Amino acid sequence: MSLDQKYLEILKKDNFNEQDYIALNELAQILRHRILEVVSKNGGHLSSCLGSVELIIAMHCVFDSPNDPFIFDVSHQAYAHKLLTGRWDSFETLRQTNGISGFTKPQESNHDYFIAGHSSTSISLGVGIAKAFALNHSKNIPVVLIGDGAMSAGLAYEALNELGDRKYPMVIILNDNEMSIAEPIGAISKYLSQIIAGKFIQKIKSKVSNAFNKMPNATYLAKRFEESLKLITPGLLFEELGLEYIGPLNGHNLKELIGAFKLAKNLKKPIVVHTQTLKGKGYPYAEGHLEHWHGVSPFDMQKGVTLSQSSSKTPTQIFAQTLLEYAKQDSKIVGITAAMPSGTGLDLLIKHFPKRFWDVAIAEQHATTQASSLAKEGFKPFVAIYSTFLQRAFDQLIHDVGIMKMPVKFAIDRAGIVGEDGETHQGVFDIAYLKIIPNFTLFAPRDNATLKEAITFAKDFTDGPCAFRYPRKSFLLEDDRIQSTPFIYGKLEILQNAQSGILLIGYGNGVGRAIKTAQILKESNLECGIVDLRFLKPLDEISLQNLGQKYPYWFVFSDNVKIGGVGESLCAFAQQYNLSIKIHSFEFNDAFIPHGKTQEIETIMGIDPQNIATQILNITGKEDV
């Protein structure tokens, strides 16, 4: 079934009667059903999308998209927006290879103003648009939809600080789906806030201002009265920053939302409309603050259970359980994550040791810097952050950790291709941006067993900061395939010798790809040497020099971009020691990696083991596989 055009026609109306509101509420249920229908098959972001349906309908009722640009913070809550802007049928391909993105994407539609996968960028983008509109004398207005979680990052307040000073017209819709505001205070503050931001009080303010010289005491009293009202509203912070405030509103009441949005639009000022919504609205299994319904794998829509669950433990689970055992033995072990407690597994440790393990909200910079001072005070801080999010703390990695040579331990989750989340989430840059920082030690496990060894090494390492990376869901290499050995600082591990002169060098999850490639090459009677590099910084220079004498062909495997990657490090090493070897990297090319199932993306990029084996045979002069 496709979306009935009558609903799209209603969205274009200037005024709405009771029948229109009935139809719009019907539309909300239709959108929710379509989101559930597709996400249950494809996976994706669910609870935030279900909770924001009425907000997005109201936005389309009041504002003129795309002329009034909609900026979705993170944009994982924008599925209803996609469905209302010509992507009803293509929504079936959500997050699939060559399908539509799970985030806003301008290449899909001119209704998607900006791509967004990381939080807290929306208000800054809105300020930039508002400046451009002012310079172009445009009467359009940017509309920002930002969640309360994204308001925990500093970038949002940097933007608010300037916006409150410069007073550009902009509507910021604060989607509050976690805060608990008591009913009496909420009802009073909603009433007072609407009065304060409404036309009546604006006129009162103007009249009082004009009478200032004649009635200074009355003006003083009026100002004090208004300030006293603000003190019992949640909008105090925004008012003090120089923004108008309306709210909190029921984020599922379309009549209330549309009225507030119209008021906000007509004020021609920077204004925050505070709405309260329920995550997972309309789907009982997902309603409420249940983090595991935020991003989901395919699930049975009727039963609310995941369809496919692997019995083997994920690297994230191995990390959490191993660190928990060590934390029980060593009270100096502490941990920090930035709004991803369950995603990084640190929720397990927060539960057992709430005074030693912390979720600091969406604040990667803060997480990194405080870890450095914890280390200086004699603790052993583990910072567990996704590869794609750690890059947000690049300056702190240099300035607060690297220069001070503090022994902070960075556990980098979701390293490599992460699949359906696409360009904004691929964890393929951490090697490049960490490798250049002095005093950092970089190493990587190849499977779950060596991940335990990596944690053991990290907890006892004191000579500066260290970082180890591991993939999402599972390693390519099956557990216990190769006996694990402890990490020895700066030492590689030879997994297989050969006389062919061909050496496959893997780093981290790349070891699994190297081994799978070697198996295919063996079927063509080509035996390869296999090395687990283990340490990228420092390199095992003595062992590599010896390997350079034996193997003239080196093929490099790691889940990272080529520029700044493992291959570059080995090329520089070979040049430094005048080694006569040919090095070929099967790392990722200089391009952002699109969304889709990981194996499908690897095949498209030509880095699946079968493709790689064919390339190696061609490079070394053998016949194709």
Instruction: Give me the amino acid identity at 273.
Output: V
148 is in an annotated binding site: yes
562 is annotated as an active-site residue: no
DSSP string, 74-115: SSTT-HHHHHHTT-TTGGGGTTSTTS--SS--TTT-TT--S-
- Measured distance CA(287)–CA(315) in Å, rounded: 29
Task: Identify whether 392 is a catalytic site residue.
Answer: yes
Listed in sequence order, the DSSP H helices in 467-550 are 510-523, 541-550
Kindly write down the DSSP assignment for every residue of 526-576, as one continuous string: ---EEEE--EEES--HHHHHHHHHH-SEEEEE-SSBSTTSHHHHHHHHHHH
Binding site annotation covers 364?
yes
Residue 105, judged by CB atoms within 10 A of its CB (0-12, 13-18, 19+), counts as buried
Return the sign of the alpha-carbon dihedral for residues 67, 73, 75, 80: negative
Catalytic residue, chosen from 279, 409, 435, 534, is 279
CA trace torsion 179, 351, 425, 566 (10° rounding):
150
CA atoms within 13 A on the CB side of 556: 22
Q: Check 108, 239, 244, 364 and give the catalytic one.
A: 364
Measure the CA–CA gap between 431 and 220, rounded to whole angstroms.
Answer: 60
Q: Given the structure tokens 């993105």, which residue do they identify? A: 101
Q: Are 297 and 307 a contacting pair, CB within 8 Å?
A: yes
Output the CA torsion sign for 515, 519, 522, 524. negative
Query: Quick count: other Cβ atoms within 10 Å of Cβ 314?
Result: 18
Identify the residue whose tokens are 């990052």: 153
Q: Determine how many CB atoms are found less than 10 A away from the CB of residue 501.
A: 13
Measure the CA dihedral 587/592/596/600, to 10°.
-30
State yes or no: 150 annotated in a binding site. yes
CA neighbor of 93 nearest in space, from 32, 51, 44: 44
Q: Which of 87, 392, 414, 537 is catalytic?
A: 392
H or E element, residue 44: strand 44-45
Q: Please check if 198 is assigned to a binding site.
A: no
Q: Which residues contact 40 (CB under 8 A, 6 or more apart)?
A: 298, 299, 300, 301
312 annotated as ligand-binding: no
Active site residue 513: no
Q: Coil, helix or strand for 60?
A: helix
- Contact between 313 and 448 (Cβ < 8 Å): yes
Tokens 């996400």 belong to residue: 39
Binding site per annotation, positions: 76, 117-119, 148-150, 177, 283, 364
Binding site per annotation, positions for Mg(2+): 148, 177
Binding site per annotation, positions for thiamine diphosphate: 76, 117-119, 149-150, 177, 283, 364
Active-site amino acid positions: 279, 364, 392
